Amino acid sequence: MALHKIIRIVVLIIALIGIVLLATILSGNVGTISFYMNLAYFILGLAIAFTLLFSIAQLFANKATLKKTLISVAAFVLIIVISYVLSSGEDIYKQGELIVSESGSKWVDTGLRTFYFLAIIAIGLMVISGVKKLVKN
């Protein structure tokens, strides 16, 4: 419980610092904005690092969760590989100027195909779940 109290105090301090920083920006002191932006990036980086650290620690604490996570990641990578293989890339020109290279075009197509595959899978699973609930009743 002590850790919970410490975290609440730290969050309160960060919130107060944020209010003070916002007040200085709103008062017209625009020279400090770049410093505040760098501070915000630093805090965001810390938040991401701690989130990843604790998530990975929890994954390795439970082997069943780690196995499910690795299977999910492998399935996602497989969908991306299939999308990449099915994608076609070609240079895109506009008024004679190269806008997107062949590689960039192929990756955009891969992203779109991955989205379509995942959307179809999600919709299919929702339909199957709905049908199973109807059959049970």
pLDDT one-digit tens code per residue, 2-31: 878 888 998 899 899 888 888 888 888 777
Checking if the pLDDT of 35 tops 90, the result is no
DSSP assignments along the chain, one per residue: -HHHHHHHHHHHHHHHHHHHHHHHHHTT-GGGHHHHHHHHHHHHHHHHHHHHHHHHHHHHH-HHHHHHHHHHHHHHHHHHHHHHHH-----EEETTEEEE-HHHHHHHHHHHHHHHHHHHHHHHHHHHHHHHHHHH-
Checking if the pLDDT of 1 tops 70, the result is no
pLDDT one-digit tens code per residue, 70-129: 999 999 999 999 999 999 888 888 888 888 888 899 999 999 999 999 999 999 999 999
